[in-house]
Amino acid sequence: MKFYNLLIKYRLWAGVASLVIGLVLQFGGLGDIWAAIIFYTLSFIAVFTHFFIGPLRLVQEPMENGDMEEVERIINTVWFPGLLFKPIRSTFYTLKGNIAMMNKDFDGAEQHLKKSASIGSTLADTEGANKMQLGMMALQKSNFKEAEQYLKAALAKGIPDKESEAMAHLGMVQVYMNKRDFRASKEFFRRAKKCKPKNEQVVSQIKDLEKYLARIPG
């Protein structure tokens, strides 16, 4: 695993070195075209995978360790994100959005997450989580129409963990309370409770809403 990570980290320079070796073998007096072709092929593979797959595999370990500074450093080594394959490019912008949120750059976070959403992803859970974040940011701006659009899409795509799913349902509670559709609000509230979240903030929000909704008929 460590060797594979080192290969990903230095493959661009390995590709450049392979190209130089190939040129030396072909034009440096040796005239060994077949050996040069081998190094040209290695160079092409290394450069191609560097720009079209990128280094995102390297973010797994620092993310598990909570080292977001290292995650940001790795993400910033992507020079041309437009060249990344579509699902990888979507993940790239999702990570950029999460880092921006961590740095309280909410406008930047929204911009990156919208780019990710517009690209789409082959991973439904990733796309669902992305749209959920956009929905919650829209709620913060009291943009209930956009919040409803993103949260419904998130729930339809699927959200990978019960904590986030509960938050999405609670967001829908706010959307329908704004519409004064209390029957729908209570239904989404029941769905949020069914997720059995453990996060203290989510649990506290459920308790507060339960007291409020209990006083509303319907």
pLDDT in tens, 29-65: 677 888 899 999 999 999 999 999 888 888 878 877 7
Q: What is the pLDDT of residues 115-171, one digit of tens each?
A: 887 776 545 556 777 888 888 888 888 899 999 998 998 898 888 778 888 889 999
How many other CB atoms are found less than 10 A from the CB of residue 149? 16
- pLDDT confidence of residue 188: 93
Conformational region of residue 181, where left means phi above 0, alpha means psi within -120 to 50, and beta covers everything else: beta
At residue 16, the pLDDT reads 93
Higher pLDDT, 127 or 10: 10
Give pLDDT tens digits for 73-124. 988 889 899 898 888 888 888 888 878 877 778 788 888 888 887 776 545 5
Q: Under 8 Å CB-to-CB from 190, ≥6 apart: which residues?
A: none
**Separation of alpha carbons 127 and 13, rounded Å:** 33
pTM recorded for the entire structure: 0.66
Nearby residues of 91 by Cβ (< 8 Å), 6 or more positions away: 56, 116, 121, 123, 126
